[in-house]
Chains A and B, each alone.
Chain A
Amino acid sequence: MAMSAAEHLASRVPGRHPDLPETTAGTLRLDIREEGYTDHWYLTIADQSVEVSRSYEEADLVVSGQRGVFDRLAAGGTHIGSALLRNDVTVRGNLRLLLSLRRLFPGPPDAHHPRAYCLHGNGRR
């Protein structure tokens, strides 16, 4: 089952992420809007680790959007880059941090390893 963005942020994002470059450092705030209120998630990235808290502090990059968009991100159903172009998320601040989210949120669940695709890909598609 796909996780919601809130579940993903609470359970999968905090901790060490060897995929993050050791030189990536900064703060990101995700403003997840639902009717009537906004959830704020505050991510601090340093030394290939992410700390997650609930805070409305100003951040190097603020990303906001509807809850449905973030839930799709958490399920690997949309690419953060395309979501930005569609204006499904809006951003303010240091955009270089945006693609760090690509390392913290999953890719599509049905994606193949290229080698597996070459072995089995034809039959499946």
Chain B
Amino acid sequence: MRQELVHVMAGNAFAISDAQGDMRPDPAAPTGLFSFDTRFLSHWVLTVDGSPLNALSRDDMTYFEARFFLVPGTASHYVDAEVSVIRHRSVDDAFHERVTVLNHSAAPTDLTVRMQVASDFADTAEIAAPRRRPVAVDAVAEKSQLRLRYQRDRFTRETVVTATTPAEVDEEGLTFRIRIEPNESWTTDLHVACVIRGEGARDLRADLEAHQRRVRHHMRADLHGWLDRAPGLISGRPAVSAIYRTCLTDLAALRYTPLAYPDSVPVGGLPWAMSLYGRDALVTCLETLPFTPELTPATLRILAVTQGGQLDDQHDEEPGKILAETRYGESAAFGDRETSLYYGAADTTPLFVVLLDEYERWSGDAELVRELRHPARMALDWIDEYGDLCGDGYLRYRTRNPDGGVQNQCWKNSPDAIRDRHGRVPALPRATCELQGYAYDAKRRGARLAREVWGDPEYADRLEREAAALRERFNRDWWLPERGYYALALEPDGTPVDALTSNVGHLLWSGIVDDDKADAVAANLLDPRMFSGWGVRTYAEGQLPYNPVGSHLGAVWPSDNALVAAGLRRYGFDVEAARITDAVFTLAETLGGSVPELVAGYDRQVTRYPVRLPAAGRPQSWAAGALPMLLATILGLRPCGDNLLVDPALPAGFGRVELLDIPGRWGYADAYGRDRAAAKASHGEGVRTAG
């Protein structure tokens, strides 16, 4: 069994250690200190008199701070330890660790405290087998400083470790020879700067306006303010309030400030996706508009700034396309991977328009819609000009970078995710069904923006005609009448890929489903083949490729379920939406802590406990946003003109739910709901969190 890993994080910097606070390379996990997709510390190991330390307890204070309480020696004889050690670490742009050694004995003690330090400057993309890099090491004893430096052409990364007390410095670490009097303590502060050198030995970030404005001195106040601005939740089921608060905290932890922009946007999540991913960021924003709307304008603006401008095969870039991923590491810089700005996603572009419209409906911020008219128009043009690869009016994908491009450019992006129910892999270019829903929704919403904000009724008419035609052709070409659901995908020749998947739930969310087909779709989503008890599976059991531990061939994703549940409510399936919400909240409650990105698709009756998967990181922004969105769905929150409509349909056991101070164009509004049992009986006091 692997040891527990402990993380602290801020922006795109994070440190992952073992339970003692030590960091050593691990091929299976990005352990060490990372910033801008580079590992700045691969070894960070503390010993006292040559002995490793043992953890007594830990205090995970906030997402950016942790304290480890330790004693030297092995577990068998630390009971009457005469010395104990506290490591208090925090991360912002730099990493700090305060080491305190306490002498509990009646006599003075002489100790040798050593921090072993090394960096391999590995790129996050190569953690499994980091390349050996030549690292120049410079021990500056008079400053108690150790400098580690890697250079390739003009690309430089440097780790500077400085202690505040005198140290002996060698190429592998810092040694402190100390004497502590009885019942006294000794402390040193270790500061680790992660330097990205620009010209004239200046840090690249120091030159950037955006980072100059970044204020990290008040991170606690910032977190407090973030929680305070979000609506307060009172729930008759106390776990719901606790989960809500965890999700809000995770969303706070997963904000980062890109180089090009002063406001923070969501990163994908820990540990593998600590960078801006267009899809994850867009979905997170869509999930959290009633709760943390401040994420959205920054996300839309950074995605507009980075919108594709040219045809570029390596980056799968086309004019108007919205970013899939951006990375800052060495492999991105040198084109070993195409991730510096990678556009291999067919869903981000329509979702950009969907988010812009949805944001305006909540916030009333027409100014942003005017500001982003050009990018939104380019995004809408992209759908037909570059997204319709076979000229049949359907949005498709196929990478033009066969070596490094992403094969499946939809949210189910693992290489084997798209198969028919017998396991056959469909031909490329591939059109998955949810992409058509997003395109339909983007056109409808683009039409509203054109009519109401951009003053372009002709364009609005055109988009509405195109949307109506798409809907008609989609309901004809994709519907599988003998199965009662829509095909997962269409091949280039129009052959349907007949698997039953959660993608059909996204179609409800987008509103492209004809009313006469909605009953069958909803019934399929809640059928035991799809619904595991923890949520709706990505792929229905009983089809040949089904695999409960396959990310997109059976596993359950909270983010997927949030969109599916919203779709069900949109079509009036209140009971079904409530059932999914209850399942996902029970999943979160049973696991405790941050909501993982996905869990295995095993039936809840069989495992009784959600089975976590190695691939599933936590916290993840779209998983953290999923549970708030489910709350908004069961409360039936919907902007209507300048008012907030509330139409609750709560699962049994939620009791009375109050969501207070929901921000929007109405100012602040409250929403109340109660489940049936609570509505019948008068109910006791709830629990209030987050403001």
A residues contacting B by CB (< 8 A) are 19-23, 64, 76, 79, 81-82, 85-88, 90-96, 98-99, 102-103, 106-108, 110-115, 117-118, 121, 125
Contacts and interface: CB of A to CB of B under 8 A. Distances in A.
B374 A112 contact: no
A118 B334 CA distance: 27
B398 interface: yes
B199 A112 contact: no
B543 interface: no
B340 A125 contact: no
Contact of B386 (A88, A103, A110, A114): A114
A81 B332 CA distance: 9
Given A64-B199, A114-B318, A99 B390 contact: no
B333 A21 contact: no
Interface centre among A19, A93, A96, A111 (most CB of B within 10 A): A96
Q: Which are the 5 A-B pairs with shortest beta-carbon distances?
A: A107-B310, A85-B333, A21-B374, A102-B309, A111-B311
A125 B310 contact: no
Given A115-B389, A125-B402, A86 B312 contact: no
A90 B199 contact: yes
Given A79-B340, A110-B313, A86 B429 contact: no
Interface string B596-619: 000000000000000000000000
Given A81-B340, A92-B207, A86 B153 contact: yes
B588 to A, nearest CB: 37
A87 B204 CA distance: 9
B209 A108 contact: no
B333 A86 contact: yes
Contacts of A82: 332-335, 340
B652 interface: no
A21 B260 contact: no
Contacts of B317: 107
B277 to A, nearest CB: 16
Contact of B305 (A96, A106, A108, A121): A96
Contact of B209 (A88, A94, A121): A94
B341 interface: yes
14 contacts: A21-B304, A85-B155, A86-B334, A87-B155, A87-B156, A87-B204, A88-B153, A90-B198, A95-B259, A99-B309, A107-B312, A107-B317, A111-B313, A114-B400
Nearest to A64: B199
B312 A108 contact: yes
A80 to B, nearest CB: 9
A81 B341 contact: yes
Contact of A118 (B154, B304, B335, B390): B390
Contact of B260 (A92, A95, A103, A121): A95
Nearest to B332: A85
A90 B372 CA distance: 28
B454 to A, nearest CB: 12
B256 to A, nearest CB: 15
A91 B311 contact: no
A92 B207 CA distance: 5
Contacts of A81: 326, 340-341
A119 B97 CA distance: 57
Contact of B374 (A23, A92, A102, A117): A23
A111 B309 CA distance: 13
Interface string B395-428: 0001010100000000000000000000000001
Given A91-B208, A115-B389, 20 more contacts: A19-B378, A21-B304, A21-B375, A22-B374, A23-B372, A81-B326, A87-B153, A87-B197, A87-B204, A90-B198, A90-B204, A95-B208, A95-B209, A96-B261, A99-B309, A106-B310, A112-B313, A115-B386, A118-B390, A118-B398
B210 interface: yes
B154 A88 contact: yes
Contacts of B304: 21
B371 interface: yes
A86 B204 CA distance: 11
B315 interface: yes
B225 interface: no
Contacts of B156: 87
B241 interface: no
B391 interface: yes
Contacts, number: 120
Contacts of B373: 21-23
Nearest to B341: A81
Contacts of B309: 19, 99, 102-103, 107
Nearest to A105: B310
A110 B314 CA distance: 10
Contacts of B333: 82, 85-86
Interface centre among A20, A91, A99, A107 (most CB of B within 10 A): A107
A53 B222 CA distance: 44
A121 B390 CA distance: 13
B260 A115 contact: no
Contacts of A85: 155, 328, 332-333, 340
Contacts of A98: 260
A79 B341 contact: yes
Contacts of B259: 95
Contacts of B318: 113-114
A113 to B, nearest CB: 6
Nearest to A78: B335
B319 interface: yes
A23 B371 contact: yes
A70 B61 CA distance: 48
B105 interface: no
B310 A114 contact: no
A13 B402 CA distance: 33
B594 interface: no
B188 interface: no
A90 B205 CA distance: 11
A108 B340 CA distance: 16
Contacts of B389: 114-115, 118
A118 B429 contact: yes
Contact of A108 (B306, B314, B326, B391): B314
Contact of A113 (B311, B341, B429, B492): B311
A96 B304 CA distance: 10
Nearest to A21: B374
B336 to A, nearest CB: 10
A19 B321 CA distance: 13
Given A86-B155, A106-B310, A112 B305 contact: no
A125 B307 CA distance: 27
A68 to B, nearest CB: 12
B398 to A, nearest CB: 6
B312 A79 contact: yes
Nearest to A88: B154
A8 to B, nearest CB: 14
A90 B207 contact: yes
B9 to A, nearest CB: 22
Contacts of B319: 19
Contacts of B204: 87, 90
Nearest to A117: B400
Nearest to B261: A96
